[in-house]
Structure 1
Amino acid sequence: MLHIAFASTDEVHVNTHFGAAERFVIYDVSPGVAELVGVGEFASAVMKGENKDKKLPVGTVYTPGPEMAAKPGELDKPPEDKVVAKLDFLKDCAAVYAASIGTSSIKRLMAAGIQPVIVDNNHEIVDLLNEVSLALSCGGLSWVDKAKARFLAGGKSPDRFDRMEREGWHGSDDGHALHHLMTSEDDLV
C-alpha cells in the first residue's frame, strides 16, 4: 500500500500549487482500491517568484526525475516555513501531486524520498488514483515501480498486493472515502 498525497481545495481535483496549498488529501492506494486516510490543513502562504502562476496545459503530467535532485550542500540552508510543515505531514507519502511545484520544493520533496508529480490544474484525483492502481498491478510508471520496491524492501511481503486483491480487500467501513480502482487494462472497457 502506498500513501499518495494530492494538493486539493475540494478533495476531488488537484488544483493547487504545492507551496500555496492550504489542504492536502492522502490516500492509501493498493491495486484495485484507494482509501482516504488523511486531510492536512495549512495556513495560507503568499507565493513569490517568476513561476508562481505557471500552469501546465490540460492533460499534461510532469514527473521530475534525478536531474532535479539537490546538489551536495544545496539544502543546508533552512527551508521556508511553509514547506517544512508540509514535508512533515507528507513524510510517509510515496508521492505528492500538485498543479505546480517550485524547483526548491521539488528538490526538498525528492531529498525526503517523496516523488513530486505536476499535473494540469483541476485534474480529477480519482483518475490519478486509477493510474497508480494500474501501475501497482501492471507497472508502467517508473516512480510507482521504485516506490513499490522501497515498500517491499521495508519488509513487506512481495505478494501482499496480489493477496489483498484475491481476498477481496475493501478497506475500512468507517466512513472514509473509498474508491474501487482499475487493476488491468481490461477495466478500461
Structure 2
Amino acid sequence: MKIAVASTDGKLINLHFGDANRFLIFELKDGEGKFQEMREKTSIPLNNHQERWVASIDLINDCKAVLCSKIGNEPTIELRKRGIKPIQLDCDVKDAIEECSKHLLN
C-alpha cells in the first residue's frame, strides 16, 4: 500500500495538503514503510486554491492515505471519494510511517 506525505524536509509532516508542492511516497509492507519516490506538482498560482488541491489529489491518486498537517473539508471529501484516507498529523515523518504501517495494514 502506498501513502503520501506532505513534508518540506522529509523529517516533519509540516504542510497543508493544498500548499504541498511535493509529496514523499512510501510503500507500506510487512509492518514497515519504505521510501519509494518524491512527486512534485507543477506551479499553480496561489490565488487558485481549488486548482491547487485538485492537482495534489491527481498526483497521489494511487495512494491509500495522505499524511499532512492540515486539510480542508472539500479536499477531504474528494480524497475519500477516491478511496484515499486523509490523516492530519503534526509530527515526525518516521514515527508517522511506523504508526501507519501498524494501523493501515491491519
TM-score (norm 1): 0.51
Q: Which residue of 1 aligns with 2:93?
A: 125
Q: Which residue of 1 aligns with 2:83?
A: 113
Q: Would the aligned equivalents of 2:65 and 2:87 in 1 still touch at CA under 8 Å?
A: yes
1:74-89 alignment runs, 5 A limit: 80-89=50-59
Q: Which residue of 2 aligns with 1:46?
A: 46
Q: How far has the Cα of 1:45 moved from its partner?
A: 5.3
Q: Which residue of 2 aligns with 1:34?
A: 33
Q: Which has the higher strand share?
A: 2
TM-score (norm 2): 0.86
Q: Which residue of 1 aligns with 2:102?
A: 134
Aligned length: 105
Work out whether 1:97 is the aligned partner of 2:96.
Answer: no
% identical aligned pairs:
31
Q: How far has the Cα of 1:81 moved from its partner?
A: 1.8
Q: Name the CA distance, whole Å, in 2 between partners of 1:115 and 1:44.
A: 24
Q: Would the aligned equivalents of 1:31 and 1:134 in 2 still touch at CA under 8 Å?
A: no
- Structure 1 residue runs without a partner (length 5+): 49-78, 136-143, 149-189
Q: How far has the Cα of 1:44 moved from its partner?
A: 5.7
Q: Name the CA distance, whole Å, in 2 between partners of 1:90 and 1:18.
A: 11
- Structure 2 residue runs without a partner (length 5+): none
2:17 aligned counterpart, secondary structure: coil
Cα root mean square deviation, aligned:
2.2
The aligned amino acid for 1:103 is N
